[in-house]
Structure 1
């Protein structure tokens, strides 16, 4: 099966004093299958949001390639719905109008009645059926984020990109919106890439958790598969003995292994084996004692 998203040696660097380059992300490799929910975690400043921004086409890459839906791209487009930590709603527009703004741009050839129905449907699904005509200033932070989620899904994109969408919410609201997100994801089976710093959130939502090494020159340090069945029940997952195992694995990486770069280890191992290979090619390989 061909992946929906292929990231091959995706890199990002910026000019630095002295004519050098500050490498933020180095040769990031990752594939996402259709309908898969993948989360990226890592310490602050490791470049996880930079990776998401490159996938969204909001930040240009310095190297590597990104293939989305079989087509190489590096530009933003409606085939990726993005939800940020702050929903960035236009304050002079109602919740309905904020969602319609994107719908009108993407589906401008569709009848207006169909466009309105699409916006109303997703606002209702996220629990804002009775608040469509309210302005952002009249909505709580959690309600504004619901509008942001509805806006992203209403575009019916190939991929959903989430940059710590619940990071500014209290614990109860965060859990409620995680459930809303999973229900929408279940209905749409939308391939999703999410950035978070919350280990428990990553385990509850994801099929796989990608752990990034510390920056600079951050890369994929480890990947953990989360095999809990879907739809997921939070209480059942918390009671599952595997939950503690997965949580400890992620915390161990963040606390003890995030400074280790697999590419450098692989390079060191290759250097160590070169003398042996050279000796073997010359017929001088030593025998074990």
Structure 2
């Protein structure tokens, strides 16, 4: 009997380089990260640092220039139904209803299931995201928040091994964003799909994540720090915001973004990782070429 691999995703020294008229331009360099099965992690950093580039490489929508990616114990290349993606704009087909948009993926992935089983799957996830009474409406009849709910339902309905979220709430007003964060957490709680999310929002990262991965400024961006989020699940937003640790975590993230995002650990011999990043190294091995805090 095989022992399940606790690591769902392993990114080893990922590079992304583009050819330009002035020569090669490296956006991401030596990016290292390992996610455990069922973990929810967010990528945060300044605009243009390469967060979405990393996410698209994991999604298989952008080729790796260098490095290796292991997903569920196997080397991964190219897109596949084992990764569900939610973009900032859900990209729904306007001539199809919400239900038909979800069914499009379900039919492709679960073609061996009966038609009734596939319909039930789509209806279940649309109901969970709060669209039981609107699933047969067309995208033009739905608000931006409702369209994003369809995108979330579509991704979860595929029951992927990994969920990839590229600023899915970035275009929404604050109230809708908070509502959809709760919807996302409820779906994640039911399914425990390993999740990697890109966000610019410090508070969103703290509320949703098990770990926040901070990226250095681009070009040649890499992992600059990792912050473990100690709050137990399920989470209550009010309780978290009243917890003194919340403001310590928030200050750590803001300090990194304001004062330390320009520091590249791989180029700083005297750099000492935070306790959380040192723990990552101790758990997963020396993925980054600099000493641990004990050095």
TM-score normalised by length of structure 2: 0.89
Q: Deviation per CA, 1:44-88, whole angstroms, max 9, x where unpaired? A: 000000000000000011000000010101210000000000000
Q: Deviation per CA, 1:93-120, whole angstroms, max 9, x where unpaired? A: 0000000000000000110000000000
Which residue pairs with 2:64 in the alignment?
Answer: 61
Report the 3-state secondary structure (helix = DSSP H, G, I; strand = E; otherwise coil) of the residue aligned with 1:4.
Answer: strand
- Distance in 1 (CA, whole Å) between partners of 2:56 and 2:182 is 25
Report the 3-state secondary structure (helix = DSSP H, G, I; strand = E; otherwise coil) of the residue aligned with 1:100.
Answer: helix
Which residue pairs with 1:21 in the alignment?
Answer: 24
**Gaps (5+ residues) in structure 1?**
270-289
Residue 71 of structure 1 pairs with residue 74 of structure 2:
yes
Residue 245 of structure 1 pairs with residue 248 of structure 2:
yes
Where do 4+ consecutive residues of structure 1 move more than 6 Å? none
Structure 1 57/139 Cα, relative in aligned 2: closer, same or farther at 3 Å?
Answer: same
Which residue pairs with 1:131 in the alignment?
Answer: 134
- Distance in 2 (CA, whole Å) between partners of 1:248 and 1:190 is 29
- Alpha-carbon offset, residue 16 of structure 1: 2.5
Report the 3-state secondary structure (helix = DSSP H, G, I; strand = E; otherwise coil) of the residue aligned with 1:266.
Answer: coil
Residue 153 of structure 1 pairs with residue 167 of structure 2:
no
**Gaps (5+ residues) in structure 2?**
273-295
Which residue pairs with 1:88 in the alignment?
Answer: 91
Which residue pairs with 2:10 in the alignment?
Answer: 6
- Distance in 1 (CA, whole Å) between partners of 2:226 and 2:211 is 7
- Alpha-carbon offset, residue 267 of structure 1: 8.7
Residue 213 of structure 1 pairs with residue 216 of structure 2:
yes
Which residue pairs with 1:186 in the alignment?
Answer: 189
Query: What are the residue-to-residue correspondences of 1:258-277 with 2, within 5 Å?
Result: 258-266=261-269
TM-score normalised by length of structure 1: 0.91
Q: Deviation per CA, 1:167-201, whole angstroms, max 9, x where unpaired? A: 00000000000000000000001100000000000
Contact 2:98–2:137 (8 Å) recurs in 1: yes
Cα RMSD after superposing both structures: 1.2
Number of residue pairs aligned between Structure 1 and Structure 2: 268
- The structure that is helix-richer by fraction is 1
Report the 3-state secondary structure (helix = DSSP H, G, I; strand = E; otherwise coil) of the residue aligned with 1:15.
Answer: strand
Report the 3-state secondary structure (helix = DSSP H, G, I; strand = E; otherwise coil) of the residue aligned with 2:269.
Answer: helix
Report the 3-state secondary structure (helix = DSSP H, G, I; strand = E; otherwise coil) of the residue aligned with 1:153.
Answer: helix
- Alpha-carbon offset, residue 15 of structure 1: 1.0
Residue 172 of structure 1 pairs with residue 175 of structure 2:
yes
- Distance in 2 (CA, whole Å) between partners of 1:167 and 1:16 is 29
- Distance in 2 (CA, whole Å) between partners of 1:261 and 1:74 is 28
